[in-house]
C-alpha cells in the first residue's frame, strides 16, 4: 500500500488494485487448503479464553483500520486505499464470525448434551438469550424421518461435535 501511495497515476492505482485482488485469491486458496487439511485430519478445537480475547481485539482493530483507510483514501482521492478499507472491513467481519464460533464452542458443554435435540429447550449457558430452541430438534426430526441418525458429543477440552450419519453413495 505504501508503494502505491508513493506515486501517482491511474496505471499505478490499477496495478495496486490488481495486487490486492491477487492477495485475496492467494488467501482464498490458502484457506481452502488449510480447511481441507483440518477437516481431513479430524481436528477438534478446544476452547481458549486467550484465543477469544485475541480474536475480539483483532476484530476491533480491523474495523478501526478499515475506517482509517477509507477516510484517508477519500481525503487523498485514492481508490486503492478506499478499496483497502473495504477489504479490511471484510477482515473485521470474518474476525467477528470466528469470534462467534469460538464463543459458541466454549459455551456448548457436555452437561447439556442429553437434551440438545429436545424441542423448545435452551442450554444452561443460554442466560436469557433469545431463540426458539427448535433448530436442533428440527434437524433431529428430519434425520429420523429419513431413517438417519444425528448425534452430539463433547470432546475432551470442551466444545461440541454434531454428526449426521448419511448413507454412502
Q: What average pLDDT does the chain have?
A: 76
Residue 53 has pLDDT above 80, yes or no: yes
- Which of 34-38, 39-43, 58-62 tops mean pLDDT? 58-62
Q: Residue for cell digits 480447511?
A: 35
What average pLDDT does range 20-32 have in this prediction?
86
Please list the helix, strand and coil fractions of the chain in percent, rounded to the nearest 5, in that order. 65, 5, 30
* Rounded-to-integer distance, Cα 53 and Cα 156, Å: 21
pLDDT at 6: 58
Nearest to 94 by CA among 136, 129, 61: 61
On whether the CB atoms of residues 5 and 81 are closer than 8 A, the answer is: yes
Residue 51 CB partners (closer than 8 Å, separation 6+): 102
Q: Which residues pair with 151 in a beta bridge?
A: 163
pLDDT in tens, 112-128: 666 677 776 565 555 55
- DSSP class per residue in 23-53: HHHHHHHHHHHHHHHHHHHT------HHHHH
The domain limits of the chain are 2-107, 111-165
DSSP H or E run through 86: helix 79-107
Give the tens place of pLDDT for each residue, 73-105: 999 888 888 888 988 898 888 888 888 877 776
In the predicted structure, residue 26 carries a pLDDT above the cut 60: yes
Beta carbons of 91 and 64 less than 8 angstroms apart: no
- Give tens-digit pLDDT for 142-165: 777 777 777 877 776 666 777 877
Question: What per-residue confidence (pLDDT) applies to 160?
Answer: 73
Q: How many beta carbons lie within 10 A of that of residue 16, not counting itself?
A: 21
Amino acid at each position: 500500500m505504501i508503494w502505491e501511495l508513493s506515486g501517482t497515476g491511474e496505471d499505478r492505482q490499477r496495478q495496486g488494485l490488481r495486487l490486492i485482488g491477487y492477495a485475496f485469491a492467494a488467501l482464498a486458496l490458502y484457506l481452502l487448503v488449510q480447511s481441507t487439511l483440518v477437516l481431513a485430519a479430524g481436528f477438534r478445537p478446544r476452547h481458549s479464553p486467550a484465543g477469544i480475547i485475541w480474536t475480539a481485539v483483532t476484530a476491533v482493530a480491523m474495523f478501526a483500520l478499515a475506517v482509517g483507510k477509507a477516510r484517508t483514501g477519500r481525503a487523498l482521492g485514492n481508490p486503492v486505499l478506499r478499496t483497502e478499507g473495504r477489504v479490511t472491513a471484510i477482515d473485521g467481519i470474518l474476525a467477528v464470525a470466528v469470534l462467534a464460533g469460538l464463543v459458541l464452542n466454549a459455551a456448548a458443554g457436555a452437561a447439556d448434551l442429553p437434551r440438545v435435540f429436545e424441542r423448545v429447550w435452551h442450554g444452561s449457558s443460554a442466560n436469557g438469550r433469545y431463540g426458539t430452541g427448535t433448530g436442533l430438534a428440527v434437524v433431529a426430526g428430519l434425520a429420523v424421518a429419513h431413517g438417519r441418525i444425528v448425534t452430539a458429543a463433547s470432546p475432551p477440552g470442551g466444545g461440541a461435535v454434531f454428526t449426521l450419519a448419511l448413507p454412502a453413495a
